[in-house]
Amino acid sequence: MGTILDAPVQILMGTNVRGAFTAEDNRDILDKLLGTAAPKTGARLPEVIEKRRSDMASQGMILPLVGYADDERLAPNQFLVTVALQTVTGDIRKDILFDMVVDMIKAVQIQDPSKKSVRALLVGAVNNLVEKNYQESMDCFRKVSYWGSIIGGCEADCVRATLCYGAVNMMNGQYQSMTYDSQLACNIVDKPTFSDPYLKYAAHRLMGISWVLMEHPEHAVAFFEQAYHDLEWANEETLLVEVLFHAVTAMMQAQQYDKCRNVIDRIYSLVKDSDTYGKEAINKLYVFRAFVSDRTIEQLKSQLSEMELKYEEISRSFLLGLKDTVLKVVRAVTPSVLTFGLGSILGNVRDIKMIWQKSGDGGMNLADMP
């Protein structure tokens, strides 16, 4: 998806976009970006936008900071703009979509923005999410992300909003948007100044799931491993088991059967004496562990269907055992995603009560939660 920038508004640019506009052109910058005229050589796009920001600031209208990066993966004339978690793509030669950016900027305005008002928005967003008011929740999460990126001390709430935003995109099957949300969250939690291990875990886990759903499971494994290490010290059994199951799923999809064995052993070591999971589920895991260990890679490949059926049954036994009242939020998920995706979505909804309570800034007041 390109470089993630540390600014509320982020613009990724194809090779022709920087020099597409002249500083002498007096058209509104949004008209410029709509591409109503052919691209010209002249001032770089960042210079044009910063001049526009300066002019509007002198009139008392403060626009958000803008970050820029070239991205060779975009078509030469294409740009990609993200405003508070919402992404818009366009082409400098065509009249498409960019008017949405104006609405997006207007949508995130709130009165007297402060850390307290950002937290109040977040509580409202979560309430809307649990009540299945998805559009309202998305609007609130977008506001939290926008203002949280500007107001100091709101980094954790930015991550929470981004994770929930990504979870809703996952439920809607918008996996590319989910991947971008995950990248934004990881960009925050991977900063040296960010220290909340539970939110680090949630961000890395969502990033791993995004790669699997985007059909790049080979990239997912490293993020699941990172999520595991984020909380390994805390002895969080259910969260560790959950993310290791996700790692096994990614490895199986990537046909990394030899690596599966080690991770299955790690899961069994975590749960063999556990009171959290029933004996039947643990016994099934023991049998599956033996099934994988007693066969060569070639044999496993030849018995792939049987292996996948056994794994699906076991993963359901563990992941679907994590009962919670907000299970209703994920009922729309397709069966092919449910076994793998249940824990991830609940990790961004169910774990709001658990992970946020343990987060470094004191977490959400549970009295405010649904």
pLDDT of residue 329: 30
- pLDDT at residue number 41: 38
Domain ranges of the chain: 9-107, 169-368
Quote the pLDDT of residue 301.
75
In CATH, the number for domain 9-107 is 3.40.30
pTM of the entire predicted model: 0.68
Exposed / middle / buried, residue 249 (Cβ in 10 Å: 0-12, 13-18, 19+): buried
Residue 307 region by backbone torsions, left for phi larger than 0, else alpha for psi between -120 and 50, else beta: alpha
CB-based burial label for 123 (10 Å; 0-12, 13-18, 19+)? middle
Kindly report the CA angle at 322 between 319 and 324, in degrees rounded to 5? 140
Phi, psi of 86 (to 5 degrees): -100, 135
The end-to-end CA distance of the chain, in Å, is: 34
Residue 227 is predicted with a pLDDT of 93
User: Which residues, 6+ apart, have CB-to-CB distance to 319 below 8 Å?
Assistant: 242, 245, 339, 342, 343
Closest CA to 146 of 179, 120, 174, 108: 108
In CATH, 169-368 is 3.30.70: no
- What are phi and psi for residue 74, nearest 5 degrees? -80, 155
- Whole-number pLDDT of residue 224: 93
Sheet holding 86-91, edge to edge: 66-70, 9-13, 78-83, 86-91
Q: Is 7 exposed, middle or buried (0-12, 13-18, 19+ CB in 10 A)?
A: middle
Alpha helices by DSSP H, 191-236: 197-213, 217-231
CA distance 120 to 99: 29
Q: How far is CA 75 from CA 10, 13, 27, 89, 338, in A?
A: 17, 9, 25, 11, 35
Collapsing DSSP to helix, strand or coil, 26 comes out as coil
Q: Please state, in angstroms and rounded to a whole number, the distance separating the CA atoms of residues 254 and 311.
A: 15
* Residue 4 and residue 184 in contact, taking contact as beta carbons nearer than 8 Å: yes
Summarised one tens digit per residue, pLDDT across range 281-340 is 888 888 888 887 777 778 777 777 777 777 777 777 776 654 432 332 333 333 333 233
Q: Which helix (H) or strand (E) holds 308?
A: helix 304-319
Question: Which residues pair with residue 67 across a beta bridge?
Answer: 10
- Tens of pLDDT along the chain (370 residues) come to 334 445 666 777 777 776 665 555 555 554 445 444 444 434 456 665 666 667 656 665 555 666 777 787 777 877 777 665 555 555 544 333 344 455 455 555 566 678 888 888 888 887 887 777 878 888 888 778 777 766 778 888 888 888 888 877 877 778 887 887 888 888 888 988 888 888 898 889 889 988 888 888 889 999 999 999 998 888 788 888 888 888 888 888 888 888 888 888 898 888 888 888 778 888 888 888 888 777 777 877 777 777 777 777 777 777 665 443 233 233 333 333 323 333 343 344 444 444 444 444 444 433 333 3
